[in-house]
Amino acid sequence: MVYITRKEYFCASHRLFNESFTDEKNLETFGKCSNPAGHGHNYELSVTVAGEPDPKTGMIIDLKKLSDLIKEEIINHVDHKNLNVDVDFLQGVIPTTENLARIFWKILNPKIKLGKLYSIQISETAKNFTEYRGE
Amino acid sequence: MVYITRKEYFCASHRLFNESFTDEKNLETFGKCSNPAGHGHNYELSVTVAGEPDPKTGMIIDLKKLSDLIKEEIINHVDHKNLNVDVDFLQGVIPTTENLARIFWKILNPKIKLGKLYSIQISETAKNFTEYRGE
Amino acid sequence: MVYITRKEYFCASHRLFNESFTDEKNLETFGKCSNPAGHGHNYELSVTVAGEPDPKTGMIIDLKKLSDLIKEEIINHVDHKNLNVDVDFLQGVIPTTENLARIFWKILNPKIKLGKLYSIQISETAKNFTEYRGE
Amino acid sequence: MVYITRKEYFCASHRLFNESFTDEKNLETFGKCSNPAGHGHNYELSVTVAGEPDPKTGMIIDLKKLSDLIKEEIINHVDHKNLNVDVDFLQGVIPTTENLARIFWKILNPKIKLGKLYSIQISETAKNFTEYRGE
Amino acid sequence: MVYITRKEYFCASHRLFNESFTDEKNLETFGKCSNPAGHGHNYELSVTVAGEPDPKTGMIIDLKKLSDLIKEEIINHVDHKNLNVDVDFLQGVIPTTENLARIFWKILNPKIKLGKLYSIQISETAKNFTEYRGE
Amino acid sequence: MVYITRKEYFCASHRLFNESFTDEKNLETFGKCSNPAGHGHNYELSVTVAGEPDPKTGMIIDLKKLSDLIKEEIINHVDHKNLNVDVDFLQGVIPTTENLARIFWKILNPKIKLGKLYSIQISETAKNFTEYRGE
């Protein structure tokens, strides 16, 4: 079993808030991340696939194809977008990295045919990092 | 003459567009950066001061004070904000890094008393970087 | 189960030596790290918490509060300090990253109320990295 | 149980291809990585050892000795080399990071006497990363 | 005058040697970089353009167009290639970063129409970095 | 004219204080950097040489020789040392990066025979950076 990871990038804006909260409660809960007009980040998205390398190629999965899949399914939908407004699969979701990681897992998991999806990692800033392993 | 640089960070959203352009012209000019609901970045702001170190301290300027100045004058106004909406000193400005660098220079330049402001550098992503030296 | 990590930084000096060793034995065991007048590092401390995100907030734990906790309990005690001399909770400890990771775990573990502490990671240089998971 | 990691670097060229494939099949399988005259990378090799720190030293393993071992057994054989041509222990191997990780494991595993080898990680570019844990 | 920089990446192999030198002299002059079967690197290429931002756009030059230009003129010719063998514009050139920087300048300089080319920077490893400003 | 830079690393401890100041004045002037038992950093030292590449080699200066020179003259004297206590050429010097950059210049400048020394850059942390160009 070998683990292979591909990292892709996207730049997006978001606002953390719960529609059912008052403004005060949103501010208390999400702090400056609840700024009404939003803010943004350069996100790093890493996708790890676990599998047995094919003896004929030495590869679990073609990294170019894994990259294309991540771009088609995720990056093209979120890059240079507002995560609260522009993304179909994020409608009604508070766009924390915890939620993003689980939703990206659900989208990518059925599409990985060689090896199996092992982990989704998202960093929002150099100091904040989330991982989801489908557990 | 020695050059000393302090780097600070801010996370913000923005949209590149010119109000006097049609939507088509904005899209043609600014591409995906003109997404109507905006997008965002983790910005790095570096401020370089040139000067003669004081023989009694070995310092041009106290980096803690330079850091505090950058935070008070810039970071606190732009961090976790929408650059098109939330920032007094950016009203009416297209928030490209070229424009940000020149405006930050105008704000910081009169406040630097020890040494003189030499350069403002802003990186928007790992691949895009702007510098302004007041020329 | 989602894993969320917050990274904080501290700058400190230390000396690796065992008081019960001779100088020769300390030099043989710890090499240049046993330099009597010490040396120092920019440390990166990452703290990973595992948990179920709260559906109302999309968060396991408020990263601002996790950051504050790490600063209060660890960073404020070790930043710009001599780890052999200045830190109450390191008295009598050889300040290797292995030991630091286990002590930081003991301090932080009872304070994490939302989710549970999963991992402490410390990098001392770009080439040296330690992880402790409480096992 | 604590995990300690040492990172070393090497610069090498390689070509991904299977001698038993036609040129077309190699191009289809390995894409631009099958360029006949090769290409190259700055590789990062991280080696993680798991163990109980020795109470007398606070260390699982002397990182200087771990570094020396990695250099003697791996880096000196692959740095500034062509992985398809110059390396005894890679003869007949398609030099993907999946294969490199497993071969480096076989070489290093019997040489680690203090603690036990836990993981080999190789990054080929900032976007591609492989891990092998001997499973 | 504002300076704007776009960074692009390429992975390539090369060998440093002078055909008119003996093998001994090549080894003495270029050390391990003269390995006959070559070695390789992940290169970072940064291109800096100086100019006056257009008041209508806040931009000196569209970074997407600058990126496309660098890719068309340089990256597509050198990425995943052997710099000694595969690249038309490097025939007969010893592929040091000093030489690459000057040749990339000659190629890009006449193509920059908005602003003027100010600097070409190439890093070959995290420790080696070259800059050429056309002087 | 081409500029070539070599980066080397050292880990050291230091204390910022002026012996002729009172403890209060040292604290007021240097803040937490005046902690009596010291603190430390991972320093990055970059040395830039400007020159005309030799047509026979494509190099201004052999980077391996520049690296050896920086190590012999600087790194070996300051790595894993206390800058206030252990370093001959820093006796009586307040070890700010401003002072280090000027002293390193004085040491290296007469030793650079191919090309001429153009710049010394020192980063003390990811946020603090000093440059000296001999002016």
- pLDDT reported for residue F94: 98
**Contact indicator for F2, E131 with CB cutoff of 8 Å:** yes
CB-based burial of residue F88 (10 Å sphere; 0-12 exposed, 13-18 middle, 19+ buried)? exposed
> Which of the 8 DSSP states describes residue E60?
S
Question: In the prediction, which pLDDT does D90 show?
Answer: 98
Q: Which helix (H) or strand (E) holds F9?
A: strand F2-14
E46, E7 contact by CB (below 8 A): yes
Q: Yes or no: say if A123 and A44 are a contact pair by the CB < 8 Å rule.
A: yes
Interface B–F counts its CB contacts (< 8 A) at 57
> If you measure CA to CA, which chain E residue comes closest to B95?
E58
- Distance of alpha carbon C43 from alpha carbon B38, whole angstroms: 36
Residues E119, E41 contacting (CB under 8 angstroms):
no
Q: How distant is the Cα of D31 from the closest Cα of chain E, in angstroms?
A: 10
* Cβ-based contacts of F59 with chain E (< 8 Å): 96, 98
Q: For tokens 């604290």, what's the residue?
A: F27
Residue ranges of the domains in chain A?
2-132
Domain E2-132: assigned CATH number: 3.30.479.10
Cβ proximity of F12 and F41 under 8 Å: yes
Residue E96: closest C-alpha in chain F: F58
- Does F55 contact chain E (CB < 8 Å)? no
Residue D25 contacts A where some CB pair is shorter than 8 Å: no
**In this complex, is the C-beta atom of A7 within 8 Å of any C-beta atom belonging to chain D?**
yes
Neighboring chain D residues of C98 at a CB cutoff of 8 Å:
2, 4, 53, 58-60
pLDDT tens digits, residue range D63-109? Answer: 999 999 999 999 999 999 999 999 999 999 999 999 999 999 999 99
Compute the distance between CA of residue B81 and CA of residue F69 in angstroms, rounded to an integer: 48
Average pLDDT, chain E: 97
Cβ contacts from B onto E, under 8 A: 57
**Amino acid letter at F94?**
I
Contact C82, F37 (CB under 8 A): yes
Q: How far is C-alpha A77 from the chain's CA centre? A: 11
Residue F106 makes CB contacts below 8 A (sequence gap 6+) with: none
DSSP H/E element including D108: helix D97-108
User: Which residue in C128, C130, C122 sits closest to F11, CA to CA?
Assistant: C128
Residue B132 at interface with chain E, using a CB cutoff of 8 Å: yes
Q: Calculate what percentage of chain D has a pLDDT beyond 70.
A: 100
Tell me whether residues A80 and B11 touch, CB distance under 8 A: no
Residue F7: what pLDDT?
98
Q: How confident is the model over C36-73, as pLDDT tens digits?
A: 999 999 999 999 999 999 999 999 999 999 999 999 99
Phi, psi of E19 (to 5 degrees): -55, -30
Annotation marks residue D24 as catalytic: no
Q: What residues of A act catalytically?
A: 33, 80, 124
- Our CA dihedral for C7, A79, C56, C68, rounded to 10 degrees, sits at 20
Give the pLDDT confidence score for residue B74 in this predicted structure.
Answer: 98
In angstroms, the CA F52 to CA F1 distance is: 5
Residues F65-115 pLDDT 10s: 999 999 999 999 999 999 999 999 999 999 999 999 999 999 999 999 999
Q: Which long-range contacts (CB under 8 A, 24 or more apart) does A95-98 make?
A: A95/A14, A95/A15, A95/A16, A95/C58, A96/A16, A96/C53, A96/C57, A96/C58, A96/C59, A97/A122, A97/A123, A97/A124, A97/A128, A97/A129, A97/A130, A97/C4, A98/A130, A98/A132, A98/C2, A98/C4, A98/C53, A98/C58, A98/C59, A98/C60
Length of chain D: 135
Q: What tokens appear for B65 in the block?
A: 């004070």
Scanning every residue of chain C, which has its alpha carbon at the shortest distance from the alpha carbon of A19? C56
pLDDT tens digits, one per residue of B81-109: 999 999 999 999 999 999 999 999 999 99
Q: What is the mean pLDDT of each run of 10 residues along chain B (135 residues)?
A: 98 97 96 97 98 97 97 98 98 98 98 96 97 97
**CB of A126 within 8 Å of any CB in chain C?**
yes
- The Cα–Cα gap between F44 and F125 comes to 9
Whether the CB of E95 is below 8 Å from some CB of chain F: the reply is yes
